[in-house]
Amino acid sequence: MWKQDARELPRQTAGEQLLAEGSHLPDGSTTTAPSSGSEGLQAVGPDPERGTGGLRMPSLADEFNYVAPDVRPLPPALRWIRERLFRIFLVTVFCGTILLLAVTWFTDGEHDDSLLFLPCSKKWKNLFKYSSIPLVSIIFTWWHVWLGIQMCFYPIKFVGCCEPYLGWQGIVPRRAETMATRSCDIMIGHLITVGEIIDRIHPDDFFSSLNHVLSAISNAVVEKVMKLHFPSVWEMLPETVKTELQSKVMEESRTMFSPVIQDLKANIESIVDIKQMAIDVLMEEKPLLVKMFLQIGKREFVFIQHVSAVMGFIL
């Protein structure tokens, strides 16, 4: 039962709980939800060793809890230059080359040759050929590195004929099982544990999120039990009494729900395989897997493209 319903856990619970757990107090400290066995909210003030940035997640006993350190921001001028450094490089190289060619073309006295119907000197023609080499290298290197990165992820489905021989499919979607398994191995157990994930589930929040589902199931069960054991009594009851009876069952279910969640937290490893569930979802939703890799490595991919363009210019 639990393994079938595990996929229906409310996805918004973690996000809402993060906001609830990260509430700031007037004195500048942060409130966090209690870990297992504690009561009430805990106020976590600034940590001089770890920095004040980031929210402190609910921790379990002997579990590592990462708090992102504060990074000293660069001065506005340096930050502006850093964000536009590659563009400045491109503008400098291309505009500088065009300016050099224009100046030498006008200063040359004799135009005894031509280049694409443009009269010029032999010296200027040779200069044009040599100066175009680094520009073409920049464009070609940048383009083929960008294309190589794109081919790692797209197309998501095989395109071509005689699969897998004549055509192409992105490396990540083609090896979706391997990529999903490795990413889940890194995320679940290293970056965040199953215990920390399940520790965010609170009975009241869980019950409220599944209230409509539990209500429908409870009403169906009550009606089935009454028709099975007391069919005549159930038929004689007015609708108002039936509704009140079903509401009473739901109220009693809420009081019984907290022990169920506590048992789920204590035995989550034997009830639900969250890592395998995540792997299955990523294998079924290959666009999601590709999007995850692209978002995580966005800065690195851009850095690789920029460095390749610069290396193409230098070499």
- Specify the 3-state DSSP secondary structure of 21: helix
Amino acid letter, residue 130: Y
Q: Which residues pair with 51 in a beta bridge?
A: 47
State the DSSP code for 30.
Answer: E
* Residue pair 149/301 in contact by the 8 Å Cβ criterion: yes
List, as one string, the DSSP characters of 139-172. HHHHHHHHHHHHHHH--SS-EEETTTTEEE--HH
Instruction: State the Cα–Cα distance between residues 276 and 261, nearest whole angstrom.
Output: 21
Given this model, what pLDDT does residue 209 score? 79
**12: CB partners within 8 A, 6+ apart:** 209
Residue 39 has pLDDT above 70, yes or no: no
Given this model, what pLDDT does residue 95 score? 95
**What percentage of the chain has pLDDT greater than the value 90?**
25
Given this model, what pLDDT does residue 91 score? 94
Instruction: State the Cα–Cα distance between residues 174 and 168, nearest whole angstrom.
Output: 9
Question: Mean pLDDT across the chain, nearest whole number?
Answer: 77
* Residue pair 189/209 in contact by the 8 Å Cβ criterion: no
**40: CB partners within 8 A, 6+ apart:** 34
Q: What digits encode the pLDDT tens for the residues 271-294? A: 777 788 888 888 889 999 999 999
